[in-house]
């Protein structure tokens, strides 16, 4: 059974459309379970009836015609109860109704299981047999398993518009089968709204991620394709020649198969046809490779199934040559570009000129991914984790993105565009009002002064931060400049980069975090492949294993700070005391070395980040050992709640206002204060006006945030008294539910007259 199941899953995922998926499923199940009938009924979202969508065994003419309401028939009952019903003789069940046109009167045994996706019944999967018998447990389990697989495929197909939801035959709008105002949900990445046109960013040689784009010059596209093809033919011949001595002749023949696959009457001819039909070479190649892979994958013969891998490999090779030839040409970005990527990485943010980039969308990741954090700091509205977005079909389309709620609208109507443009105008007015705060202190109405620092990483952050009145840098993410290079920067190179930050901010303090790679921050030249990267080799664990990297970095920091004396060094992802001791010893060694070299350097203040739950309970001991404590609430939240900060499926569970998170944050502040050590926070929570008020009341000495949110946070602090913030904290600490706390904060801010600091009223959701 397991083999049959695997095969069904494999075929279903390779099927081109929902109709084929359903037909294939009923055929395979009927054969595997030796039943006379297998049928699928899907719930029509408009008529709210279960429509027979595919069958093997019932009258094929009744497909798309026969339907049942949820209160009709045993099928309706399965849907209503959302649980399997297994009957020896369905015809004697009180709910049974006889559907004449199907010819089902001959069947007695009945097993129906609901098709459920994210708690919603999408349809019912049924098997029937002549004889009177109950299906056994194994059969029931098998059908439930297939149904669970099917549910994901149906939901995805409906969401992406690759099929219309059942019964929804509304107009198909302006393009690619995606109707007007089509909404897709992801999670909020960076606040703000944007109206613009899509530019799809593709990864090198990532065939699946290649978008469709219109061919601007068909002849030129054909030429580029033929050149790429010739290059790949050459490569295959070369490999074949090199391996000639080591392979048997039948193995050697495989290369001839490769060459034949590339011939005009195979892959090459088909790609050329699609280019002539108007797709650019890369898109045409993806279409043809997809078709072949699908055909090979569904074959019974294991040898032929393997050919899918060969085709994919050839496709990638051709693609990489095509990409080489494209990258030399100038890319033209729309004036209001919304950059869409399958997996938005920090390095992609620099792809589009700043004056043209108005929004970002990522199919994977979540609001706490590093790409989203950087987008917030750049002030670019961003939506993450739009898992159902058919991104390869969106090139050049009009879209609206709503970075507050995590929604995007494809092919928006003029009315919707105008509504969002109005919000944009209001936002610009609020931002202009906040600019006047630049030189005013972050001081509450009862005179409490709250230092506001910034998190930096990008070169442009420095200027932006100073413009917004930042009083120091609470977190400089040193890994960001490491990410945009081809190898580890030298001590001299690092010195230059760090000095720019230290100099621009002097005499204000600059907190430089030592390299924090791993998790979702990888360096192209230092790949770390792990099954659980967030629980793996990250942050200080990497640098302590590589003292040569750590020492060079610390030396560069110390040298860069000469003459400014505003450097603070911060250690990420600390779990145990020995890590702190070892890191401090390395820093002392670097200081000593430099002093011996005749440089005028001193040991800077050293601090640790509390991001791992174990560190929370050692805060007081760490505080005795180091000069300051800084909380990384992004990671701390993910580790406390056991919610991957990058995974859109659980993004709804990532709750910075979870009562446990608030308790822990309060505890850390109290513990650090017992040792009279400064305690700051540099996670995203400090950037939320409501969160900032709570943290101030908890006793945090410094709030560090992305520069973009600093004016809002300052405005919230200037509009509140410490007494009010304390009362807010006391009330919130008695509440049990993260959503209720969030909601309470928003309404409290509004009643304090700070409503303009929460998100605006948006069409579609509010």
Could you tell me the smallest distance in angstroms from the CB atom of residue 373 to ligand PEP? Answer: 6
191 in helix, strand or coil? coil
CB 728 within 8 A of CB 694: yes
Is residue 766 exposed (0-12), middle (13-18) or buried (19+ Cβ within 10 Å)? exposed
* Residue-wise burial string across 54-83, b where 16 or more C-beta atoms lie within 10 A, e elsewhere: bbbbbbeebbeebbbebebbbbbbbbeeee
Q: Compare residues 611 and 671 and give the one whose CB is closer to ligand PEP.
A: 611
DSSP state of 66: -
Can 370 be counted among the known catalytic residues? yes
Distance between CA atoms of 25 and 2, rounded to whole angstroms? Answer: 15
Could you tell me the smallest distance in angstroms from the CB atom of residue 299 to ligand PEP? Answer: 46
Q: Compare residues 409 and 453 and give the one whose CB is closer to ligand PEP.
A: 453
Which residue, among 377, 344, 461, has the nearest Cα to 686 in the 3D structure?
Answer: 377
Could you tell me the smallest distance in angstroms from the CB atom of residue 475 to ligand PEP? Answer: 6
Q: Compare residues 151 and 685 and give the one whose CB is closer to ligand PEP.
A: 685
Instruction: Select from Mg ion, ligand PEP, none the partner in contact with residue 703, using the beta carbon and a kind-dependent cut-off of 5 to 8 Å.
Output: none
Instruction: Select from ligand PEP, Mg ion, none the partner in contact with residue 188, using the beta carbon and a kind-dependent cut-off of 5 to 8 Å.
Output: none
Contact status: 632 vs Mg ion (CB under 5 A): yes
* Residue-wise burial string across 294-312, b where 16 or more C-beta atoms lie within 10 A, e elsewhere: bebbbeeeeeeeebbebbb
Dmax (CA) for the chain in angstroms is 97
The size of the interface with Mg ion (CB under 5 A), counted in residues, is 3
Site for Mg ion in 609-628 (CB under 5 A): 611
Instruction: Select from ligand PEP, Mg ion, none the partner in contact with residue 633, using the beta carbon and a kind-dependent cut-off of 5 to 8 Å.
Output: ligand PEP
Q: Compare residues 42 and 615 and give the one whose CB is closer to ligand PEP.
A: 615
Q: Compare residues 315 and 656 and give the one whose CB is closer to Mg ion.
A: 656
Which residue, among 48, 57, 32, 31, has the nearest Cα to 40 in the 3D structure?
Answer: 57
Instruction: Select from Mg ion, ligand PEP, none the partner in contact with residue 706, using the beta carbon and a kind-dependent cut-off of 5 to 8 Å.
Output: none
Q: Compare residues 290 and 635 and give the one whose CB is closer to Mg ion.
A: 635
- Expressed in angstroms, the distance from the first to the final Cα of the chain is 48
Report the phi/psi class of residue 523: left, alpha or beta, with left for phi > 0 and alpha for psi in -120 to 50.
beta
Q: Compare residues 192 and 632 and give the one whose CB is closer to Mg ion.
A: 632
Distance between CA atoms of 477 and 538, rounded to whole angstroms? Answer: 14
Q: Compare residues 611 and 688 and give the one whose CB is closer to ligand PEP.
A: 611
Contact status: 186 vs Mg ion (CB under 5 A): no
CB 661 within 8 A of CB 632: no
Instruction: Select from Mg ion, ligand PEP, none the partner in contact with residue 406, using the beta carbon and a kind-dependent cut-off of 5 to 8 Å.
Output: none
Contact status: 457 vs Mg ion (CB under 5 A): no
CB 189 within 8 A of CB 382: yes
Q: Compare residues 142 and 657 and give the one whose CB is closer to ligand PEP.
A: 657
Instruction: Select from ligand PEP, Mg ion, none the partner in contact with residue 461, using the beta carbon and a kind-dependent cut-off of 5 to 8 Å.
Output: none
Instruction: Select from ligand PEP, Mg ion, none the partner in contact with residue 229, using the beta carbon and a kind-dependent cut-off of 5 to 8 Å.
Output: none
Instruction: Select from Mg ion, ligand PEP, none the partner in contact with residue 477, using the beta carbon and a kind-dependent cut-off of 5 to 8 Å.
Output: ligand PEP
Could you tell me the smallest distance in angstroms from the CB atom of residue 497 to Mg ion? Answer: 20
Q: Return the number of other C-beta atoms located less than 10 Å from residue 388's C-beta.
A: 17
Q: Where are the alpha helices (DSSP H) in 262-340?
A: 267-276, 281-297, 302-327
In the Cβ-directed half-sphere of 587, how many Cα atoms lie within 13 Å?
Answer: 24
Which residue, among 307, 287, 305, 309, has the nearest Cα to 297 in the 3D structure?
Answer: 305
Catalytic residue among 658, 666, 682, 742: 682
CB 689 within 8 A of CB 696: no
568 phi and psi angles, rounded to 5 deg:
-130, 140
Could you tell me the smallest distance in angstroms from the CB atom of residue 538 to ligand PEP? Answer: 9
Could you tell me the smallest distance in angstroms from the CB atom of residue 645 to ligand PEP? Answer: 8
Can 682 be counted among the known catalytic residues? yes
Could you tell me the smallest distance in angstroms from the CB atom of residue 523 to Mg ion? Answer: 16
Dig out the tokens for 90 from the structure: 């369905």
385 phi and psi angles, rounded to 5 deg:
60, 40
Distance between CA atoms of 609 and 629, rounded to whole angstroms? Answer: 6
Binding residues vs ligand PEP (CB under 6 A): 373, 475, 477, 516, 611, 632-635, 682-683
Site for Mg ion in 239-258 (CB under 5 A): none
Contact status: 635 vs Mg ion (CB under 5 A): yes
Q: Compare residues 471 and 611 and give the one whose CB is closer to ligand PEP.
A: 611
CB 274 within 8 A of CB 287: yes
Could you tell me the smallest distance in angstroms from the CB atom of residue 661 to Mg ion? Answer: 14
Instruction: Select from Mg ion, ligand PEP, none the partner in contact with residue 475, using the beta carbon and a kind-dependent cut-off of 5 to 8 Å.
Output: ligand PEP
Convert residues 593-612 into a mask of x (bound to Mg ion by CB under 5 A) and - (unbound). Answer: ------------------x-
Q: Where are the alpha helices (DSSP H) in 244-280?
A: 249-261, 267-276
Could you tell me the smallest distance in angstroms from the CB atom of residue 338 to ligand PEP? Answer: 24
Report the phi/psi class of residue 406: left, alpha or beta, with left for phi > 0 and alpha for psi in -120 to 50.
left
CB 476 within 8 A of CB 466: no
What DSSP element (H or E) covers 710? Answer: helix 710-718
Q: Which residue is nearest to ligand PEP (CB)?
A: 632
Catalytic residue among 117, 321, 370, 742: 370
Could you tell me the smallest distance in angstroms from the CB atom of residue 550 to Mg ion? Answer: 17
Instruction: Select from ligand PEP, Mg ion, none the partner in contact with residue 212, using the beta carbon and a kind-dependent cut-off of 5 to 8 Å.
Output: none
Residues recognised as catalytic: 370, 682
Q: Please report, as ranges, the residues that interact with Mg ion according to CB under 5 A.
A: 611, 632, 635
């Amino acid at each position: 059974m397991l083999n049959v199941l695997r095969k069904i899953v494999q075929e279903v995922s390779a099927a081109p459309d929902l109709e084929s998926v359903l037909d294939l499923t009923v055929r395979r199940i009927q054969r595997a379970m030796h039943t006379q009938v297998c049928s699928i009924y899907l719930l029509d979202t408009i008529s709210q009836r279960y429509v027979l969508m595919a069958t093997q065994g019932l009258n094929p003419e009744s497909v798309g015609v026969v339907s049942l309401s949820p209160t009709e028939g045993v099928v309706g009952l399965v849907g209503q109860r959302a649980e399997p019903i297994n009957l020896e003789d369905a015809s004697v069940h009180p709910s049974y109704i006889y559907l004449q046109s199907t010819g089902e009167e001959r069947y007695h045994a009945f097993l129906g299981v609901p098709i459920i996706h994210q708690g919603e019944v999408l349809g019912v999967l049924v098997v029937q047999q002549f004889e009177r018998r109950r299906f056994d447990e194994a059969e029931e389990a098998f059908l439930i398993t297939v149904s669970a697989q099917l549910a994901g495929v149906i939901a995805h197909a409906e969401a992406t518009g690759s099929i219309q939801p059942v019964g929804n035959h509304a107009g198909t709008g302006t393009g690619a089968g995606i109707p007007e105002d089509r909404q897709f949900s992801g999670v909020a990445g960076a606040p703000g709204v944007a109206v613009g046109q899509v530019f799809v960013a593709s990864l090198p040689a990532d065939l699946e991620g290649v978008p469709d784009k219109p061919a601007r010059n068909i002849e030129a596209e054909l030429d580029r394709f033929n050149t790429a093809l010739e290059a790949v033919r050459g490569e295959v011949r070369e490999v074949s020649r090199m391996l000639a001595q080591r392979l048997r002749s039948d193995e050697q023949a495989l290369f001839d198969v490769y060459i034949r696959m590339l011939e005009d009457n195979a892959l090459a001819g088909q790609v050329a046809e699609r280019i002539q039909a108007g797709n650019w070479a890369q898109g045409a190649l993806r279409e043809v490779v997809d078709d072949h892979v699908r055909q090979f994958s569904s074959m019974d013969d294991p040898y032929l199934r393997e050919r899918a891998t060969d085709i994919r490999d050839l496709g990638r090779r051709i693609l990489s040559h095509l990409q080489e030839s494209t990258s030399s040409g100038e890319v033209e970005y729309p004036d209001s570009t919304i950059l869409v990527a399958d997996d938005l990485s920090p390095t992609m943010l620099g792809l589009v000129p700043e004056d043209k980039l108005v929004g970002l969308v990522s199919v994977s990741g979540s609001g706490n991914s590093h790409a989203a954090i950087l987008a917030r700091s750049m002030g670019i509205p961003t939506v993450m984790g739009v898992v159902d977005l058919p991104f390869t079909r969106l090139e050049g389309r009009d879209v609206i993105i709503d970075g507050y709620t995590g929604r995007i609208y494809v092919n928006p109507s003029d009315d919707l565009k105008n509504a969002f443009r109005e919000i944009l105008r209001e936002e610009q007015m609020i931002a202009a009002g906040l600019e006047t705060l630049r030189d005013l202190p972050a001081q509450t109405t009862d005179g409490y002064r709250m230092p506001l620092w910034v998190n930096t990483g990008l070169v442009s952050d420095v200027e932006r931060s100073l413009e917004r009145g930042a009083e120091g840098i609470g977190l400089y993410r040193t890994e960001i400049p490491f990410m945009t290079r081809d190898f580890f920067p030298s001590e001299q190179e690092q010195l230059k980069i760090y000095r720019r930050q230290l100099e621009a901010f002097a005499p204000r303090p600059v907190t430089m975090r030592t390299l924090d790679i791993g998790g979702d921050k990888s360096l192209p030249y230092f790949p770390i492949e792990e099954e659980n990267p967030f629980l793996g080799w990250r942050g200080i664990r990497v640098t302590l294993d590589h003292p040569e990297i750590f020492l060079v970095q610390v030396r560069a920091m110390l040298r860069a700070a000469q003459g400014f004396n505003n450097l603070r060094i911060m250690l990420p992802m600390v779990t145990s005391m020995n890590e702190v001791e070892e890191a401090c010893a390395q820093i002392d060694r670097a200081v000593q070395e430099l002093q011996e070299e005749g440089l005028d350097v001193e040991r800077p203040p050293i601090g640790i980040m509390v991001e791992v739950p174990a560190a929370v309970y050692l805060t007081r001991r760490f505080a005795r050992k180091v000069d300051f404590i800084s909380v990384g609430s992004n990671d701390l939240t993910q580790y406390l709640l056991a919610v991957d900060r990058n995974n859109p499926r659980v993004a709804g569970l990532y709750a910075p206002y979870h009562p446990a998170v608030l308790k822990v944050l309060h505890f850390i502040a109290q513990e650090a204060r017992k040792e009279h050590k400064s305690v700051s926070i540099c996670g995203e929570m400090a950037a939320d006006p409501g969160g900032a008020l709570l943290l101030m009341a908890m006793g945090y000495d410094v709030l560090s945030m992305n520069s973009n949110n600093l004016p809002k946070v300052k405005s919230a602090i200037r509009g509140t008294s410490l007494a009010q913030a304390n009362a807010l904290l006391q009330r919130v600490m008695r509440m049990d539910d993260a959503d209720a706390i969030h909601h309470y904060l928003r309404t409290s801010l509004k009643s304090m007259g700070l409503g303009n600091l929460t998100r605006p009223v948006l069409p579609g959701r509010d």
